[in-house]
Amino acid sequence: MVNIKFMAKVKTMVHISINMDVFLDMTGTITDMESENMAFLKMCEAIGKRFNIQMDGKKIMEHILRYRKPFMENRHKEYYPIRNLIAKAIEEIVPKRLCSSDVFWIIDSYSYYHARYVKLGPGALEALKEIRNISEHMGLITDADTPYTNKVLEALGIKHFFDSITTAEDAGVGKPNPKIFKMALRHSKSNPKVYIGDSEFRDVKGAKDVGMIAIKIGNNSTEADYTVPSLKDAIKILKTLIR
């Protein structure tokens, strides 16, 4: 005979045990960096071809990265949409004055080529599924533009995993500024609150400054609570934190 009271008790216990909110970085944590770089290069090659720029894709890429570097280094103070920085950089090297439709094409190409070529990191899909199963709230905190983020997540087929998505464009500043983390944490109601990322400065410092448990993907860390080789390896840590 089935013990209904026992089943109800077990169900309640299982529900209570999933009492943790997990937030993740996107680029380099969920996505594969080699594919990120390939997507950027493909975008640059397309831009060069469309506007007859007498530079190869790699040179165009170097120019864009050089132009946007001071803005990216200070994104924790003030955020400039990456798509606009790319358009501004291209304006410096095109042989003709760009019209508004040209600028919009460049802006759209940033999301288009990344949505087409960016891939998930090894084991990332399986890891996201497990994190979804063991977290009360699953959120994304990224330094990327909002339209770009949504388009890439949709192309990767993983947007539905996240209960909340917070971008630097939403917050007006990037990581590790506490503002972007606090904006994301408005959606959080459970403890512990865990953050997983691959950058010591942007991810680990930002998470620790707002009292989150920080798991760093990659090399050793002086500030992270835990360091693991990959997102998949972070699952073992998360399971020890479930209450």
Q: Which of 15-29, 104-118, 209-223 has the lowest mean pLDDT?
A: 15-29
Predicted pLDDT at 19: 82
pLDDT band at 222 (very low <50, low <70, confident <90, very high): very high
Given a cut of 70, is residue 95 above it in pLDDT? yes
**Same-domain check for residues 233 and 159:** yes
**Same-domain check for residues 56 and 9:** no
CATH of the domain at 66: 1.10.150
pLDDT band at 3 (very low <50, low <70, confident <90, very high): very low
Q: Which residue bears the tokens 């390896």?
A: 233
For the CA atoms of 52, 57, 61, 63, the dihedral, rounded to the nearest 10 degrees, stands at -50
**Same-domain check for residues 103 and 139:** no
pLDDT band at 18 (very low <50, low <70, confident <90, very high): low
Domain boundary at 96, 117, 138, which? 117
**Same-domain check for residues 173 and 68:** no
**Same-domain check for residues 83 and 137:** no
Q: Which of 49-58, 116-125, 234-243 has the lowest mean pLDDT?
A: 234-243
First to last CA, the chain: 31
For the CA atoms of 87, 110, 175, 188, the dihedral, rounded to the nearest 10 degrees, stands at 140
CATH of the domain at 136: 3.40.50.1000
- Mean pLDDT, the chain, whole residue set: 92
**Same-domain check for residues 135 and 205:** yes
**Same-domain check for residues 102 and 130:** no
Predicted pLDDT at 12: 34
**Same-domain check for residues 19 and 138:** yes
**Same-domain check for residues 27 and 129:** yes
**Same-domain check for residues 151 and 227:** yes
The number of folded domains in the chain is 2
**Same-domain check for residues 39 and 80:** yes
* Enclosing domain of residue 51: 35-117
Domain boundary at 90, 117, 144, which? 117
Contacts of 183 (CB under 8 A, 6+ apart): 166, 170, 171
Mean pLDDT of 76-87: 97
**Same-domain check for residues 188 and 205:** yes
Task: Give pLDDT tens digits for 23-50.
Answer: 999 999 999 999 999 999 999 999 999 9
Given a cut of 50, is residue 15 above it in pLDDT? no
Domain boundary at 88, 117, 146, which? 117
